[in-house]
Amino acid sequence: MWSLHPGYLDARGLVALWREGLLARKVLQHLTKGYKNHPQLDRFNDHLQPTVAIDCYLWYVYGEAVRREHHFSIGKIGPKQLFEDSRFRQTTQI
């Protein structure tokens, strides 16, 4: 999971980021056994609501996909309203 804006990625990179993000979301929800201690998940695990944090990240990825006319399934992440209402604020570029 990269710490740069998804707009800098080519099409393959954007798809890979989406898929990695969805896997990370399952890990944070304890729905899979692998990758539980992956260091790239620390920034989400450190949040009070890790699933809300990863959903926020994925909404930015989804937004870039829409801008490029890709068809990602929005039903795979939580509603945008959750992170807009949370105390989660973007402090660094994602």
Residues near 56 by beta carbon (within 8 Å), at least 6 away in sequence: 83, 88, 90
Task: Quote the Cα angle for 55-19-60, to 5°.
Answer: 40
As given in the structure block, the two tokens for residue 14 are: 């954007």
Q: Where are the domains of the chain?
A: 6-85
Contact indicator for 59, 83 with CB cutoff of 8 Å: yes
| pLDDT on residue 12 | 96
Q: Which pTM value belongs to this model? A: 0.80
Provide block-wise average pLDDT over 10 residues at a time, the chain (94 residues).
86 95 93 83 90 91 94 86 53 49
The full 3-state SS of 39-94, as one line of letters, equals HHHHHHHCCCCHHHHHHHHHHHHHHHHHHCCCCCCHHHCCCHHHHHHCCCCCCCCC
